[in-house]
Amino acid sequence: MLTKRIIPCLDVDQGRVVKGKNFINLRDAGEPTELAKFYDYEGADELCFLDITASSDSRETVIEMVAAVANQVFIPFAVGGGIRSAVDAQKILAAGADKISINSAAVENPKLIREIAEAIGSQNLVLAIDARKKKNTECRMQNAVVWEVVTHGGRKDSGLDVVEWAKQGAKLGAGEILLTSMDADGTKKGFDIPLTRAVSEAVKIPIIASGGAGSAEDFLEVFQKTSAEAALAASIFHFKETSILAIKKFLAENKIPVRIKL
């Protein structure tokens, strides 16, 4: 049985790890390399670095940071932000990352997914999807909910339906989807279960649930109620509200398969 993965997310802004609520009101959380070393020691399964202003500010991801992290940690890590071509993706992998993540650039040019997948392999390509809930005006009587894809750190609405975009991304060659609920992000009220379930049931590639984790119970819920293969969090790890080991022990006690570092 495949173990469920716990992934700390490090949102990077101008060389520092930051965290806010709903992608705003950011506060400093530390230095990327030092945090990466700490999470590696603590038993994280993977790491995810997201340069959260790279797309909106038209900047490239800092290669030096990737190389520094690769020299310090021994677990896989993904890097996203400002990757706009297969060449950009190859540079990130050459610097030491194991996977790259694309978001805004893929929405603007869906063919980029296939181009990067062909260049580096689907197994190394994560499609990040930021989702915001909206009422479906055509189905108001049924109180139906749909989710729209937002880009550039939540600054732009795309008009794309999240589930349909996930299907398209998988078809084009994405090997994994990092699904973040903008509504839940930073709230610590739990993952968006309906959103995660809808996407994980619509595609066959692994889903990483993101946004809203506040306790070990939240991780248990997302693994029990959806098909997500991994769960990502930031605030509760960065500010030492709980530990990866504590969450994994709780999951194991509740019969969720996890890898516990000895």
Distance CA 86, CA 81 (A): 13
Residue 130 among the catalytic residues: yes
The pLDDT profile of the chain, 262 residues, written as one tens digit per residue, is: 689 999 999 888 777 776 555 444 455 567 888 889 999 999 999 999 988 666 555 455 578 889 999 999 999 999 998 899 999 999 999 999 999 999 999 999 999 999 999 999 999 999 999 999 986 655 444 457 899 999 877 778 889 999 999 999 999 999 999 999 999 988 899 999 999 999 999 999 999 999 999 999 999 999 999 999 999 998 899 888 999 999 999 999 999 999 998 7
Residue 161 among the catalytic residues: no
> What does DSSP assign to residue 205?
S
Beta bridge partners of 129: 179
Catalytic residue among 45, 130, 185, 218: 130
pTM confidence score: 0.90
Distance CA 91, CA 96 (A): 9
Domain boundaries, the chain: 5-253
Catalytic residue among 11, 13, 45, 192: 11
Give 3's contacts (C-beta < 8 A, 6+ positions apart).
Answer: 45, 257, 258, 259
Instruction: Determine the longest span between alpha carbons in the chain, in angstroms.
Output: 56
Please give the CATH topology (third level) of the domain spanning 5-253. Answer: TIM Barrel (3.20.20)
